[in-house]
Amino acid sequence: MSSFKKISSFITFCYFGLIPSVVSAQSDSTYRKFYIGVNMGTGLLQLSKNDLTSDRNARYALGFCGGYIPFKWLWLGFDLNGWLIEPYGNFYKDPAKGISISNFYGEFKLFPFKAPRVFANIAGGFSNYINHHPEGSNANGRGALLGLGYKMDLTKRLELFFIVNYGFGRFNDVNNLAAHAYNQHYDVIGFLLGVSFH
């Protein structure tokens, strides 16, 4: 079974298995609020290309999220995040430097317990691979992530959260005069710390 089929099965399980019990436990917890957030951290990322797999190395991550909270147990929104594989050079001095992965996902956070602390973090959507090397190439594809998180209230509207995610993505093949790349994909185990405001 492919990774995308696995995540589809997991989302179906959450929807039909967890949500009915959550609704029953938190039926009086309607929020109807918007939220925004930012997170950063590190992760162990492994990138594969042309049937060659790199070592799993620590990479820096940065992300922004936002959306709507229709119920206390459900947050719906977007997640714009990225992984820096190689720092970008100065545009004038060293433009042929820099590798990264950027993602634009739709996400939902599901809080399965009455006390909304622990949550499941599920997201998926578009993924982009950016490579500024002369022999490198950019590519588009799809990606997704699954994770578990824990949030703490700092104030009535400000929250601190910690998330452990497993993310993965696959990119389209590239075949042109500058580069030839196939079977491009990655996976990463991420450790993120962030804040959200609603």
> Mind listing the pLDDT tens digit for each residue in 59-115?
999 999 999 999 989 999 999 999 999 888 665 556 667 899 999 999 999 998 877
Cβ-based neighbour number of residue 153 at 10 Å: 11
Mean pLDDT, the chain, integer: 84
> Mind listing the pLDDT tens digit for each residue in 139-176?
999 999 999 999 999 998 899 999 999 999 999 988 77
Contact 83, 45 (CB under 8 A): yes
* Spacing of C-alpha 116 from chain mean position: 21
Domain count, the chain: 1
15-29, 36-50, 112-126, 152-166 — which is least confidently predicted?
A: 15-29
Identity of the highest mean pLDDT range in 9-18, 49-58, 174-183: 49-58
Structural domain range at position 135: 3-197
pLDDT of amino acid 22: 47
- Helix (H) or strand (E) holding 11, with range, is helix 3-13
Under the banding of pLDDT at 50, 70 and 90, the label for residue 16 is very low
pLDDT of amino acid 170: 95
Q: Which percentage of the chain shows pLDDT scores above 90?
A: 58
Sole residue written with tokens 């959507």 = 125
- φ/ψ of 45, rounded to 5, equals -110, 140
In 3D space, the residue among 164, 163, 165, 148 whose CA is nearest the CA of residue 195 turns out to be: 163
CATH of residue 97's domain is 2.40.160.20
Contact 149, 163 (CB under 8 A): yes
In sequence order, the β-bridge partners of residue 19 are none
**What is the distance between the alpha carbons of residues 37 and 69, in angstroms, rounded to a whole number?**
13
**What is the distance between the alpha carbons of residues 169 and 99, in angstroms, rounded to a whole number?**
15
**What is the distance between the alpha carbons of residues 35 and 37, in angstroms, rounded to a whole number?**
7
